Amino acid sequence: MKIIILAIVVCVSLTVLSATEKPNILIIVSDDHGYSDVGFQGCKDIPTPHLDRLAKEGLHCTNGYVSHPFCSPTRAGLMTGRYQHRFGHQNNPFYNPNDHQEGLPMSEKILPEYLTKAGYMTGWIGKWHLGAASEFRPNNRGFAETFGFIGGGHKYQNWTVNVKNEYTVPIERNGKEVLETEHLTTVFGDEAADYIKRHQGKPWLLYLAFNAPHTPHEPTAERLARFASIENPIRRNYAAQVSLLDDAIGTAMESLRVSEQEKNTLVFFFSDNGGPISSGGNGSNNDPLRGGKGEVYDGGVRVPFLVKWPAAFPAGVKYDFPISSLDVFASSLAVAGVTMPTDKKYDSVNLIPYLSGEKKEAPHQQLFWARGPNMAVRDGDTKLVKMGPIQHSLYDLKTDISEKTDIKDRSSAETKRLSDLLSAWDAEMVPPAFPGAKSGVKKPVKENK
């Protein structure tokens, strides 16, 4: 596999950085964002100038993955540095403030809890989707400042608050309801910019989790008019929403520049999963990948992925080795000078020496995915996909990025080896800790008394 990267050695030991030297950490996550729906990956009908600038000034990770093919489990893995199946977070939790089971298990310590002890200000803005009961909420999981909605999705504008409807629950600031009248995507970008400017002089973490371009698509009339040339109305609305998302990210990035914090801020950007294509989808495009949201083919788990840290990383470079959203955890602890915990098995890899060019090998030998009986493992450039208990397919991603040509019949030994790896990994996982919204069970949402 060809890697084009400049060798840069980070000369300062990350474990001895003072508070003023420790980099800020900005984690930007989009929602249901198609693999090809960014300019830096070839999109022609949806301009994304701010994300394209981020790609030009940072590292474009062409094999960037998330740990699960849909929303909440990916976020649970991101926050813990562990495959979410290790602690039973395989499902999207119901939104129910009175349910003390549906959420990221309290047995897991998450990223902001570690960074707070390392002297970081910690903030969350946007979508939570890790549990609605009080103990699961961000202000009780290590985030000092919080702004957004607690459920798995939300209307973007012109909603009437209804606490029984997940998509119209209140927007909250530090746990208290606030009134918002502007488009929610724009609001999140403005809030991020304000957070960045207010916390100059002390290292900070900001988890900026947009719900865009997840449905319902409710772009502004002005933004929709820009895409009148797109004939498909679903794609047109999606494009307008992606454009608003790009502008909001640009607002946050501009605040880094004007406050002179850009050089020493470690930025991650990726989608929580691939774009949905089943049941009409949301207008997204995952080409040339196979599949989409909910699937263990690459279209469900391989996403637009950027990393930037001007103080340590080269600019405008493609990094081709596979990396995972799980790696944000170990990388963030490393730059904060926090020792990686050893109390459990962690799957996160510190990417800093790899992305800086200090280490030349791949950060991961294998990556794993599972949704119910469907599972997959990538080992180097080879990927095994298991659909149910019997059907296996083997692909060479180096020559077949679209997973079209099954090579298991001419590689039976490799198929068995990867099948055994997948079985061994699966044996380490645990059953779901909560039934979740994908279980088909309906639970009523009740108002807190």
What amino acid positions are annotated as catalytic residues?
A: 71, 129
- Enter the tokens of residue 424: 């061994």
Report whether 170 contacts 159 (CB < 8 A): no
What phi and psi values does residue 233 have, to the nearest 5 degrees?
Answer: -65, -30
Closest C-alpha to 268, from 167, 351, 198: 351
C-beta neighbour count of 164 within 10 angstroms: 12
> 256: number of CA atoms within 13 Å, CB side?
25
Q: Which residue from 122, 65, 105 is spatially nearest to 298, judged by alpha carbons?
A: 65
* DSSP string of 275-319, one letter each residue: PP-GGG-SS---TTSS--TT-SSHHHHB--EEEE-TTTS-SSEEE
Closest to 168 in 3D by CA, of 159, 178, 179, 157: 159
For residue 335, give the H/E element and its range.
helix 327-336
Query: In the numeric block, which tokens belong to residue 3?
Result: 């890697």
Burial 354-386 (b: 16+ CB within 10 A, else e): bbbbeeeebbbeebbbbbeebbbbbbeebbbbb
What is 161-205 written as a DSSP string? --TTSGGGPPEEETTEEE---S-HHHHHHHHHHHHHHHTTTS-EE
